[in-house]
A and B are shown apart, each in its own frame.
Chain A
Amino acid sequence: MDNFHTIAELIRIASERQKPVHEIVLAVESEQKLRTREELIDEMRQNWKVMYESVKKGLKGGIRSVSGLTGGDAPKLYRHQLKGFLGQAGLSTAAFAVAASEVNASMGRIVACPTAGSCGIVPAVLTEAYEQGRAEEDIVMSLFTAAGIGMVIDENASIAGALGGCQAECGSAAGMAAAALTEIGGGTPEQIGHAVALAIKNLLGLACDPVAGLVEVPCVKRNGFAAVHAMLAADMALAGVKSVIPVDEVIDAMDRIGRAMPRDIKETAEGGLATTKTGLALQKKIYG
């Protein structure tokens, strides 16, 4: 099996073999890691289980982070789902993402996806798909598609906030989530590519400027925003909307933007929101 280094290659291999994208990612991983398809699917199923548990735990409430900066917003948002402008699906997705991120901030168990700071986005859209009645097996398989997208971003740009800012973490997660949802929604490999491009394009340049250097403000709520954003990207692609800029060029732009971003908004807590008057006051309160 040919390895893939761009999303265009991944799409081409899938289209040529008339296989879903997840099958290509699975076959390459199986070959590279000398592990059977079944072993890989079992491990991914375990990841999905932990993702789902982290969402459910966060929705129950009673969560507080070590610093006290975050916790308890997920149940509020969840209770609002039938009353809001965004509609039930959008609001519950946002609540799911905030839930998993609040669990992360409170030292609960999560799956890094691709990082701990962006751990709510992929689980949120998949939990929403699951609760809309999509088959669990399709959800587990879609995680291989999401992983394949993340692998290409990691190779050609970055998934670390310290290197690429938040576009590298929440931006990558949104691209991965959009890919997974598009596949579950019956999209073609090309549509998956457009969904990723649309999701990432609209988070380019995002600063990583967390208050006190903690994975809390703005990270927790940002997971909620990015999950809804990913869902919109998937729906756009499934509706036939195309990205004018091809997905691999979007990832190249992300890499260049990440390099051009100043150090003080790349996870150093030396700029942006971290050095606002309130941000600095909170930092002082936490560390003395």
Chain B
Amino acid sequence: MHGVFDIIGPIMIGPSSSHTAGAVRLGLMARKVLGEPVTRAGIMLSGSFAQTYRGHGTDKALIAGVLGMKPDDERIRDSLSIAKEQGLEFAFQKADIPGAHPNTAELHLTGLHQNIAVVRGASVGGGNILITKINDYYVELAGRYPAVVTIQRDQPGVIMNITSILGMGGLNIAFMHVARKNRGEEAMTILELDEEPLPSVIEAIKGVDGIQQAFSIPAIG
């Protein structure tokens, strides 16, 4: 059974929870993955997102998320001009991503230091999202739990160090997923936690030998 605030709430920017709130969250998630200010965003839209994005303002919502706005930010409506003012270049392209949920977007972001992030996800209703791909990794991240994502060298001991930092911080791991490209190369860990980690925990994880990138993604209900 849903709770009181699933019925009355969330506070959001209209017109539609899946086309605006969910799209903002996809943009925010991609921004988190990149981990630095975004200078260029190429966004592919698939299915119903591709058909109706103009009328629903899905383009504005995605860019708002890329700019770091939250789903209840009233500037979402003006996000495209705000992006131009802030020097964020962007382009939208319709694409057919086979087998993807009807409301799917794939964001290709380039950052200030030329880092690149690719995040694919779907807006699955009620403002909820499901991230299905991060860079080269196929994932399933719904944002129901706060998550810590790390990109690291595939070497012994890295995960032990990450989990012991979480343990010392009193954080319980609910779900954990590890994937790598090739033995000894780059790997990714996704740890879904029962509670939100403090920034100091993420900083400590960044200090672990072999870690290239670490960031947290808050739960989005």
Q: Does A23 contact B (CB under 8 A)?
A: no
A102 vs B143: C-alpha distance when bound (angstroms): 30
Contacts of B9 in A (CB 8 A): 43, 47, 111-113
Tell me whether A111 and B8 are in contact (CB under 8 A).
yes
Q: Does A29 contact B (CB under 8 A)?
A: yes
Q: Is the CB of A150 within 8 A of B8?
A: yes
Residue of A with least CB distance to B72: A109
Whether A150 contacts B74 in the complex (CB less than 8 A), given A65-B15, A107-B13, A108-B14, comes out as no
Main secondary structure of the interface of A (DSSP, over half): helix
Contact (Cβ within 8 A) A216 B15? yes
Number of interface residues of A (CB under 8 A): 52
- The reply to whether A43 and B5 form a contact with Cβ atoms under 8 Å apart is yes
For residues 72 through 95 of chain B, which have their beta carbon under 8 Å from a beta carbon of chain A?
72, 74, 76-77
User: Does A215 sit at the interface, judged by CB under 8 A?
Assistant: yes
Q: Decide yes or no: A214 and B52 within 8 Å by CB, A46-B11, A108-B14 being known contacts.
A: yes
A283–B3 alpha-carbon span in the complex (Å): 36
Q: List the B residue with the shortest CB-CB distance to A211.
A: B55
Q: State whether the Cβ of B56 lies closer than 8 Å to any Cβ in chain A.
A: yes
CB–CB A116/B17 < 8 A:
yes
B17 near A160: Cβ-Cβ < 8 Å: no
Greatest chain A CB density within 10 A among B4, B10, B51, B74 is at: B4
Please name all residues of chain A whose beta carbon is closer than 8 Å to the beta carbon of B72 when the two chains form the complex. Answer: 109
> Which residue of chain B has its CB nearest to the CB of A119?
B14
Are A150 and B60 neighbours in the complex by a CB distance under 8 Å?
no
Residue of chain A at shortest CB distance from B125 = A160
* B contact residues around A162 at 8 Å (CB): 125
* Nearest CB in chain B to that of A102: its residue: B14
B8 near A146: Cβ-Cβ < 8 Å: yes
User: Is there a chain B Cβ closer than 8 Å to A117's Cβ?
Assistant: yes
Nearest chain B CB to A260 CB, angstrom units? 22
- Which A residues contact B (CB, under 8 angstroms)? 3, 5, 25, 29, 32-33, 40, 43-44, 46-47, 50, 65-67, 103-117, 119, 122, 143-144, 146-148, 150-151, 154-155, 159-160, 162, 176, 212-216, 286-287
